[in-house]
């Protein structure tokens, strides 16, 4: 049986990749994808903990996360389209007018 720590290391690695993507990419679509990777990294650790603990709580909360993630993707993409129509750009650094 694969020990719990393997899942957790994989989960942390995926999370780090997602975080790096959020900060380093210059494209809003890619950033959204990176956020999805982070969410799924968390899902993986939930399921792994659930399995290790021997109950279904981890899997139930994962379903919630996936539902929220679907909604988030819908809202996020709609925002991205609206932003693109506004500025003809997908670079997040183009949208800095909301400041002091």
- Which of the residues 30 through 49 are near other proteins (CB under 8 A)? none
Q: Tell me if 95 contacts other proteins by CB under 8 A.
A: yes
In this chain, which of 7, 17, 19, 65 binds other proteins, going by CB under 8 A?
19
In this chain, which of 27, 30, 47, 92 binds other proteins, going by CB under 8 A?
92
Would you list the DSSP string of 70-98? HHHHHHHHHHHHHHHHHHS---GGG---S
Q: Please state, as a whole number, how many other Cβ atoms lie within 10 Å of the Cβ of residue 82.
A: 10
Q: Tell me if 5 contacts other proteins by CB under 8 A.
A: no
In this chain, which of 5, 54, 85, 93 binds other proteins, going by CB under 8 A?
93
In this chain, which of 1, 2, 88, 99 binds other proteins, going by CB under 8 A?
99
């Amino acid at each position: 049986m694969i020990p719990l720590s393997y899942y957790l290391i994989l989960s942390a690695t995926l999370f780090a990749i997602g975080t790096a993507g959020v900060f380093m990419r210059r494209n809003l679509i890619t950033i959204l994808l990176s956020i999805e990777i982070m969410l799924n990294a968390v899902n993986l650790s939930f399921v792994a903990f659930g399995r290790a603990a021997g109950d279904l709580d981890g899997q139930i909360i994962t379903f919630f996360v996936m539902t929220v993630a679907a909604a988030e993707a819908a809202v996020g993409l709609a925002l991205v389209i609206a932003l693109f129509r506004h500025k003809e750009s997908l670079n997040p650094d183009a949208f800095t007018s909301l400041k002091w």
